[in-house]
Amino acid sequence: MSPDARALLAVARKELRVLRRYPLTLLNTMLFMPLYQLVLPVLLLGTAFLVKGRSLGMDELTGTSDFGGWLSAGLVGATVTGTVLSGPAQAMASERGLGTLEQTWAMPVSRRALVLGLMTCMTGLSLLAGVTMAVLVSLLAGARYGPGTVLVLPVFAALVPGLAGMGLLSASLSLLWRQAVGLTDNLGYVVTVLAGVTFPVAVLWDALRPVSYLIPTTWAIDLSRRAALGADSLYPPAVEVCALLATSGLFLAGGTALFGRMERRMRAEGALSQH
């Protein structure tokens, strides 16, 4: 195993151990906060407009009246994307406060591997949290998933490179602005809106819809809804799969390039070891 791979796994284990020491904080961040900030308000508002248990407007726009199931599919994508966008910046700020960031970065391995190790831990935990919320929403709203739900797994596997790129983007912003937590949190909220987590992308303004199409989470969520619920998709599935792979690869390439550029800039300025 290469030094970078060992460092990646070591960072993932370290983050998991730290999070296990504070289980209530972990539950609050990944489960309770999304529930009371996003899930319950949207679910209750949507339920208020049901007609004889059916969401007629949703049926017309998306091809399914299963509001609970439709929302659940979006929540998984939103939880994972929001976590990987805000996680690296929060972790770097925490290590900076503890005084361990410089020692970690002094290891003779790629710093990109250190960020991806953090991402590995956070992606796994956020997926678990997202699935848990989807199950809870299903129980509350009576969602009905079809046998095609198993196809959601390869869809989110194709999203992973894009998530890695988002994490590197978050780390890059932390290098550029030391206190970037607020910015990365807001980016997570913007992605949640543009990806159509709580409403169909079709209702976005024409000027924002092309921006939504550049986010891999948009395609992952749309494909998941079609697979699990038989909902209508924005475009034919083959086109959406290609769009997911293309945007996911674009985010990975862009995040990698930006992180490398920020690292070289910090090293040239002599500020990397004093970040």
Three-state secondary structure string covering 6-37? HHHHHHHHHHHHHHHHCHHHHHHHHHHHHHHH
Other Cβ atoms within 10 Å of 217 Cβ, number: 30
275 — pLDDT class (breaks 50, 70, 90): low
CA of 208: how far to CAs of 79, 181, 219, 242, in Å? Answer: 22, 25, 15, 21
Give me the mean pLDDT over the 122-130 stretch.
79
Per cent of the chain over pLDDT 70 is: 87
Which amino acid is located at 31 in the chain?
L
Give me the mean pLDDT over the 221-239 stretch.
88
Sequence length of the chain is: 275
Q: pLDDT, tens digit, for every residue of 181-224?
A: 667 777 878 888 888 888 888 888 888 889 999 999 999 999 98
271 — pLDDT class (breaks 50, 70, 90): low
DSSP labels for 39-62?
A: IHHHHHHHHHT-BTTB-HHHHHHH
Other Cβ atoms within 10 Å of 191 Cβ, number: 21
**pLDDT surpassing 60 at residue 72:** yes
Give me the mean pLDDT over the 147-151 stretch.
81
> 251, 169 in Cβ contact below 8 A?
yes
d(CA 48, CA 46): 5
Q: SS3 breakdown of the chain: % helix, strand, coil, rounded to 5?
A: 80, 0, 20
